[in-house]
């Protein structure tokens, strides 16, 4: 419950305060958000599986974000940023879908 509240608070703050993202970070934000979504879905699934561990969640969340941003950064430096970010998004999307499938299995038993 607190977690859901945290999410809502984050969204509201982001919409109301309109923080300005530094341009250096801007290209990595979408990828980081997708990676974080992946971590969240993984955490939700782990919770439904009964094996949720907050430390694991924190580590996986942060590492997901950092690694995703790093990959995009590297891709930008190598000149394949667009393709690499697409690849990252695809992989993360697949993971999100599979996690969502597991969650669905738990919640709807179907």
Partner 1 sequence: MSTDDTPEQPGGNGDEDAGKSTGKNVGKNTDENAGKNAGKNAGKSTEPEAEKPEPAGQPPVPEAPVPGPAPEAVTPAEALTGRQRLVKGLWPPRFTRAQLTVALLLCVLGLGLAIQVRTTSDNSALRGARQEDLVRILDELDSRTKRLDDEKRKLESQKAELESSSNQAAEARKQTAQKEDQLGVLAGTVAAEGPGIELTVSDTKGAVEPDKLLDTIQELRAAGAEAIQINDVRVAADTYFSGSAGKVEIDGKKVSQPYKFKVIGKPQDLEPALNIPGGVVQTLEKEQAGVSVSRSEKIVVDALRPAKRPDYARSSSQ
Counting other chains too, the contacts that 17-26 makes at CB distance below 8 Å and 24 or more residues apart are none
Q: What is the Cα–Cα distance from 110 to 99, expressed in whole angstroms?
A: 14
Q: Is 11 in the site for partner 1 (CB under 8 A)?
A: yes
Q: Which residues contact 28 (CB under 8 A, 6 or more apart)?
A: 68, 69, 72, 73
Q: Does 90 bind partner 1 (CB under 8 A)?
A: no
Q: CB 45 → partner 1: shortest distance, Å?
A: 6
**Residue number with CB closer to partner 1 (74 or 101):** 101
- What residues make contact with partner 1 under the rule CB under 8 A? 1-15, 18-19, 21, 26, 29-30, 32-33, 36-37, 39-40, 42-43, 45-58, 60-61, 82, 95, 97-99, 101-102, 105-107, 109
């Amino acid at each position: 419950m607190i977690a859901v509240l945290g999410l809502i608070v984050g969204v509201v703050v982001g919409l109301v305060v309109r923080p300005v993202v530094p341009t250096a970070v801007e290209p990595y934000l979408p990828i980081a958000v997708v990676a974080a979504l992946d971590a969240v879905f993984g955490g939700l699934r782990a919770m439904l599986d009964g094996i949720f561990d907050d430390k694991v969640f924190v580590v996986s969340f942060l590492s997901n974000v950092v690694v995703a941003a790093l990959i995009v950064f590297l891709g930008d430096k190598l000149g394949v940023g667009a393709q690499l970010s697409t690849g990252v998004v695809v992989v993360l999307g697949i993971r999100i879908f599979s996690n969502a499938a597991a969650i669905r299995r738990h919640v709807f038993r179907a």
